[in-house]
Structure 1
């Protein structure tokens, strides 16, 4: 069944303030993601400021961080409430006059053809959409639209996925009896990665797709064999998935950066540790 994107937007509208704090509460996801983007951009075309499109970037935490580093960033998200939070931050920056602004902020759907200029971006970010698109054809469409925005030859696309392991860790900590209570559901979920639930008498209110590293590789190989190269898969939490980085959110920036350096360099691309991730970030290069 195709994704009901209006339900996804409503879900994030209900949790907008929580989403606005999420990357502060999970600093390793934020820092390792930013390091991966910096590494990709530096390898593609040096250190000059880049054009970046952040599709599904929520309230713009990654987008603003990249703008602070001198890049020109366009932000699009499905949820008006999250876009409004990004506009509030943009307005604060305009008044203060001491921080860079985003180039544009708009409501938009990763499944729709983007209003942004094709073939013109050094990097395109899809850090949220794919784990709320239930059909493989939809995920392929979102990546295809992003790929069209990237510069031919060396433009990058960064795509995030949620792991099946992340959800299993979550229920083990919160409600371990669910795997018995919902045995049939989890038997199917472990096979197809579709996590769907609804309130009694209502349509699906939560739709999320979870996967594994080998399935990510197979997805790109199947749908984009002629148009992109998979550069790397990276755990955005290193070995600290499942919220194990929560204490770091209360630590000094020096400590946060030291842990991010350690996990980025020694753990985040290690094949044996990808299963420790809540999110896996694929770095892709357009041919």
Structure 2
């Protein structure tokens, strides 16, 4: 089933305020995702910079919403180009960019570019192919029901990455995330909508019609993620890691950490990143699965 891209854009436009604060209220998703990106960038075998080249890592954040991770990586000194399907979320990113620009000169790094764009439409002309140390695809795959579209989105991301060394980070939502959510909020749904959930457990398609926009999501499992890349990218990219971005604290179990202070948040993030986010028995505890590819 083709993705209703306009519907997805409206969905996120209607929840722009939530998206602007979501990662602040899910500290483990934020911290473990950033740790993975930073770890693999540091481990990258890209050629070291020369006097004639920039030492800044180049990152394309495709589907990065209001840019919360993009700005964090810019703060690390990276050159970051942000693209998102939703004009509403892009406006939030531009507002933060303006706030940073108004700050004391050089005190708050800016994104290199901010633009509306579709992960399925090929890279925007402003994003040079084969030039990025890392490409982030941390949202689009949540909403592509058709596997051919998921494949196209990843192919487009791979084209942006540097040959042989460029990294592509692909995020997926787990079926367990949704099941935990309805167990907390509406446990009767599993019985009242038995046929819907029998199909959902088979294909991971979550579709609902609402007055202002459709809800169209794809949820999956670690087995599917590995099989997907083995089927379609064996000659294009290597899957170098599959990680949970909540460790064992999926389902909002990290909520108490929000007000715990940075030292405590970082200690938990260290523990989860090192011990509880890559082993197979811990992946089912995740709301999000992060696949790390290295382009061949």
Q: TM-score, normalised by structure 1?
A: 0.97
- Structure 2 distance, partners of 1:23, 1:92, is 19
CA distance in 1, matches of 2:18, 2:236: 37
Match of 1:272 in 2: 281
Q: Is the 8 A contact 2:10 2:213 kept in 1?
A: no
CA RMSD of aligned residues (A): 1.2
Tell me the SS of whatever aligns to 1:2: coil
Q: 2:81 aligns with which of 74, 78, 81?
A: 74
The equivalences for 1:178-193 within 5 A come to 178-193=189-204
1:43 maps onto 2:53 in alignment = no
Q: Is 1:225 the counterpart of 2:234 in the alignment? A: yes
Gaps of at least 5 residues in structure 2 are 49-54
Structure 1 residue 113, shift from structure 2 partner: 1.2
Report the count of equivalent residues. Answer: 285
Task: Determine the structure 1 residue equivalent to 2:122.
Answer: 113
Deviating beyond 4 angstroms after TM superposition, the runs of 4 or more aligned structure 1 residues are: none
Partner secondary structure for residue 152 of structure 1: coil
Any conservation in 2 of the 1:197–1:204 contact (CA below 8 Å)?
Answer: no
CA distance in structure 1 between the partners assigned to 2:42 and 2:277 by the alignment: 19
Which has a greater percent of helix?
Answer: 1
Match of 2:183 in 1: 172
Tell me, yes or no, if structure 1 residue 100 matches structure 2 residue 109.
Answer: yes
Contact 1:52 1:71 (8 Å CA) reproduced: yes
- Displacement after TM superposition at 1:270 (Å): 1.2
Q: Secondary structure at the match of 1:34?
A: helix
Show structure 1 runs of 5+ residues with no match: none
Name the structure 1 match of 2:32.
32
Counterpart of 2:292 in 1: which secondary structure?
A: strand
Aligned residue number for residue 223 of structure 2: 214
C-alpha spacing 1:20/1:256, structure 2 compared with 1 (3 Å): same
Question: Aligned to 2:284, what secondary structure does the other structure show?
Answer: helix
Q: Alignment partner of 1:154: what SS?
A: coil
Distance 2:279 2:229 in 1: 20
The answer on 1:88 being equivalent to 2:88 is no
